[in-house]
């Protein structure tokens, strides 16, 4: 595919899309129904459908029976960890292998022309972004994801929280599934905004931001506090009346879905005319500029409401620069 039909490449070789990042169309008034209808398929397909499919697979084939889950035990906890780790290894690994190792698409649609594997840096363990990100994901973050999973399954199994049944409340639970990605976005925005506060940033979140040019393994490369808080989004289903399948979906939107923002490419070419959209640009800009786009890609436009939205255009850039300038003036005035 010709990526220059969709964007521009600068002198350095970095590609950026021509299109403006847009928040979900139901936030624009008056409501434009055709726009909403055009947006809907992308909401389900392929990413959220994939997270629902994995949630169902887990529930029917992986998660142990309710009797077992009444008692927390190493056996089933380690089993869940092994499956989570294997699933992430395969799911993230496919992107890593095809687009970062084999470089099947070279730098077409790639925001940053460099590949992390080519640039050793002292900020990473063993000076390798890939190795550092990989080890942190598999030995810190995925274990914490599993801790969250074990805890909420244990709560459901023991009846500590309501277990809403699909037979009795199919519409309510369907609605909850549809809203789950929005819950994710709000939860992520606020914990993320919190750990961007100076002291917490240096202690916790700087680990994730070491990857200025993120790649798939960067997705879950986090400090343990962030790794836990990020996946704790599933605990909302202990507060809202819910069902373990919906809680698993919520967890998978976080765990598997983290890769979206870190894919590094705008599109993956499938055939000469067909491609898969990554939805990575908003979070790519966050890794590039740090203090923009704390949330996702505008399902709930918190960044727009808080004035931190960067839509990828020149105007977006100018708004950001003006904000940074004001901040510098405030800091200088205090000094
Ligand atoms: Zn990130
Ligand atoms: Zn951040």
Q: Classify residue 31: in a domain, yes or no.
A: no
* Strand locations in the chain (E): 7-9, 15-17, 267-269, 275-277
- Cα(258) to centroid of ligand 1, in Å? 8
Ligand number with the minimum distance to the CA of 280? 1
- Cα(9) to centroid of ligand 1, in Å? 23
- Cα(289) to centroid of ligand 2, in Å? 9
For the chain, the distance separating the N- and C-terminal CA atoms, rounded to the nearest angstrom, is 52
- Cα(24) to centroid of ligand 2, in Å? 22
Q: Classify residue 178: in a domain, yes or no.
A: yes
Number of folded domains that form the chain: 1
Please tell me the distance from the alpha carbon of residue 161 to that of residue 168, in angstroms, as a whole number.
Answer: 17
Ligand number with the minimum distance to the CA of 259? 1
Please tell me the distance from the alpha carbon of residue 29 to that of residue 5, in angstroms, as a whole number.
Answer: 30
What integer pLDDT is reported at residue 230 of this predicted model?
98
Q: Classify residue 27: in a domain, yes or no.
A: no
- Cα(169) to centroid of ligand 2, in Å? 38
Ligand number with the minimum distance to the CA of 217? 1
Q: Classify residue 14: in a domain, yes or no.
A: no
- Cα(130) to centroid of ligand 1, in Å? 14
Ligand number with the minimum distance to the CA of 283? 1
For the question of whether the overall pTM of this predicted structure is more than 0.75, the answer is: yes
- Cα(201) to centroid of ligand 2, in Å? 8
DSSP state of 277: E
- Cα(107) to centroid of ligand 2, in Å? 25
- Cα(298) to centroid of ligand 1, in Å? 16
DSSP state of 242: B
Q: Classify residue 123: in a domain, yes or no.
A: yes
DSSP state of 13: S
- Cα(163) to centroid of ligand 1, in Å? 33
Please tell me the distance from the alpha carbon of residue 275 to that of residue 269, in angstroms, as a whole number.
Answer: 4
Ligand number with the minimum distance to the CA of 296? 1
Please tell me the distance from the alpha carbon of residue 219 to that of residue 3, in angstroms, as a whole number.
Answer: 25
| Residue entry with tokens 């507060």 | 239
Q: Classify residue 17: in a domain, yes or no.
A: no
- Cα(212) to centroid of ligand 1, in Å? 9
Ligand number with the minimum distance to the CA of 261? 1
Please tell me the distance from the alpha carbon of residue 219 to that of residue 258, in angstroms, as a whole number.
Answer: 5
- Cα(259) to centroid of ligand 1, in Å? 9
- pLDDT tens digits, the chain, 335 residues: what are they? 999 999 999 999 999 999 999 999 999 989 999 999 999 999 999 999 999 999 999 999 999 999 999 999 999 999 999 999 999 999 999 999 999 999 999 999 999 999 999 989 999 999 999 999 999 999 999 999 999 999 999 999 999 999 999 999 999 999 999 999 999 999 999 999 999 999 999 999 999 999 999 999 999 999 999 999 999 999 999 999 999 999 999 999 999 999 999 999 999 999 989 999 999 999 999 999 999 999 998 999 999 999 999 999 999 999 999 999 999 999 999 87
- Cα(202) to centroid of ligand 2, in Å? 11
Query: Residue 260's closest CA among 147, 146, 178, 184?
Result: 184
- Cα(17) to centroid of ligand 2, in Å? 22
DSSP state of 270: S
- Cα(265) to centroid of ligand 1, in Å? 14
**DSSP H or E stretch at residue 8:** strand 7-9
- Cα(79) to centroid of ligand 2, in Å? 31
- Cα(288) to centroid of ligand 2, in Å? 10
What integer pLDDT is reported at residue 297 of this predicted model?
86
Q: Which domain holds residue 178?
A: 47-334
H helices then E strands: how many in the chain?
Answer: 15, 4
- Cα(70) to centroid of ligand 1, in Å? 35
Contact present, 13 and 107 (Cβ < 8 Å)? yes
| Residue entry with tokens 């890939």 | 130
Percentages helix, strand, coil for the chain (3-state, rounded to 5) are 65, 5, 30
- Cα(40) to centroid of ligand 1, in Å? 25
């Amino acid at each position: 595919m010709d990526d220059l039909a969709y964007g521009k490449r600068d002198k350095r070789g970095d590609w950026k899309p021509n299109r403006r990042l847009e928040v979900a169309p139901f936030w624009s008034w008056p409501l434009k129904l055709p726009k909403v209808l055009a947006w809907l398929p992308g909401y389900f397909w392929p990413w959220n459908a994939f997270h629902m499919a994995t949630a169902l697979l887990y529930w029917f084939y992986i998660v142990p029976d309710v009797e077992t889950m009444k008692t927390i035990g190493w056996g089933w906890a380690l089993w869940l960890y092994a499956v989570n780790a294997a699933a992430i290894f395969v799911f993230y690994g496919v992107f890593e292998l095809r687009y970062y190792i084999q470089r099947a698409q070279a730098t077409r649609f790639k925001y940053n022309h460099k590949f992390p594997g080519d640039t050793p840096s002292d900020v990473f363990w063993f000076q390798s972004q890939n190795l550092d990100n990989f080890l942190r994901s598999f030995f810190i973050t995925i274990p914490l994801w599993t801790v969250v999973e074990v805890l909420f399954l244990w709560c459901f199994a023991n009846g500590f929280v309501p277990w809403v049944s699909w037979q009795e409340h199919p519409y309510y639970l369907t609605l909850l599934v549809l809203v789950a990605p929005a819950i994710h976005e709000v939860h992520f925005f606020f914990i993320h905004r919190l750990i961007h506060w100076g002291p917490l940033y240096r202690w916790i979140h700087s680990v994730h931001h070491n990857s200025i040019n993120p790649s798939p393994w960067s997705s879950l490369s986090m400090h343990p506090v962030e790794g836990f808080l990020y996946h704790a989004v599933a605990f909302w289903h202990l507060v809202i009346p819910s069902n373990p399948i919906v809680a698993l979906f919520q967890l998978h939107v976080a765990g598997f879905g983290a890769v979206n923002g870190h894919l590094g490419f705008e599109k993956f070419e499938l055939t000469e005319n067909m491609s898969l959209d990554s939805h990575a640009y908003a979070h790519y800009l966050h890794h590039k500029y740090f203090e923009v786009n704390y949330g996702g890609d505008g399902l709930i436009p918190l960044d727009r409401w808080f004035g931190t939205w960067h839509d990828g255009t020149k105007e977006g850039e100018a708004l950001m620069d003006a904000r940074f300038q004001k901040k510098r003036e405030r800091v200088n005035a205090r000094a």
